[in-house]
Amino acid sequence: MTEKINIKNVAKLAALKLTSEEEQKLEKDLSMIIDHFAALSEMELPDEKITIHPLGMSLNLAEDEAFKFFTHDEALSNAPEAIDGQFVVPPALD
């Protein structure tokens, strides 16, 4: 694969902050793996409807019955920061 991977862009999409060393190494490693995919990419494969379940099972929908799972405290039990029962994070920009 001749096209260079824009590792910065991919890292941004994945919300991963990389050091420049990491960027270099990963770019190299990923390019190597992607080159390995060349044979697969070039195969002529027929278009087919995707079946999500490996065994072709179709979806069983659930009945609309509500029940209580967590107490308020259980839900917040691992919260890194919480105030007045809400999870707290640094300001989220749009």
Partner 1 sequence: MNIVPTIGMETHVELKTNSKMFCRCNVAETEKPNENLCPTCIGLPGSLPVPNKKAIEYITLLALSTNCAITNDGMFHRKNYFYPDLPKNYQISQFDLPVGTDGSLEIVVDGEFGTVEIERVHMEEDTGKSTHIGSGRIDSATSTHLDFNRAGIPLVEVVTKPLIKSSKEAVAYIEELRQLVIDLNISEGKLEKGNLRFDANISVAYENADELGTKVEIKNMNSLKSLEKAIEYEISRQTKMLKNEEIIIQETRHWDEKKEVTSSMRSKEGSADYRYFSDPDIPNMILDEDFVADIKKDMPLLPSDKRNTFIESGLSIEDANSLGKSATWIGELYNSVSNITKDSKVSFNWITGELQGQLRKLEKATPPNWLNPENLSEIISLVKSDKISFTSGKEILSKLIDEKINPEEYAVANKLIQENDTEEISKMVKEVLDENEEVIERISNGEQKLIGFLVGQVIKLSNGKVNPSVAKELLLKEIEQ
Partner 2 sequence: MDHYKLPISDINKLFKDKKLKPSELYTEVFERTASTESIIHGHLSLFQEENIKKATDADERFLKGDELGVLDGIPVAIKDNINISGYATTCSSQMLSNYISPYDATVISKLKEEGVIFTGKTNLDEFAMGSSTENSAFGPTKNPWDPSRVPGGSSGGSAAVVSAGSAIASLGSDTGGSIRQPASFCGVVGFKPTYGTVSRYGLVAFASSLDQIGPITNNVSDAKILYNSIRGHDPFDATSLKDVNVKQPKLEKAKIGIIKELMEDGISEDAKSEVHKVSKLLESQGHEIIEVSLPLTKMSISIYYLIAPAECSANLSRFDGVRYGNRVNGNTSYEMMEATRAEGFGPEVKKRILLGTYALSAGYYDAFYGQALKARSMMKKEFTETFEQVDYLISPTTPSDPFKFGEKSDNQLEMYMSDLCTIPANLVGMPAISIPTGLSSSGLPLSVQIMSPSNTDNTLLDFAQNLESEVSFDALPQIQGDGE
By CB under 8 A, name the binding residues for partner 2: 5, 7, 10-11, 13-18, 22, 26, 29-30, 32-34, 36-37, 39-41, 43, 45-48, 50-55, 57, 59-60, 62, 69-70, 74-75, 77-81, 87, 89-93
Binding site for partner 1 (CB under 8 A): 13, 15, 49-53, 57-59, 61-70, 72, 75-76, 83-94
Cβ at position 39, least distance to partner 1 in Å = 22
Query: CB-based contacts of 30: which residues, under 8 Å, 6+ apart?
Result: 5, 7
CB proximity list for 83: less than 8 A, separation 6 or greater: none
Q: How is residue 1 written in tokens?
A: 């694969």
Place of tokens 């609309």: 64
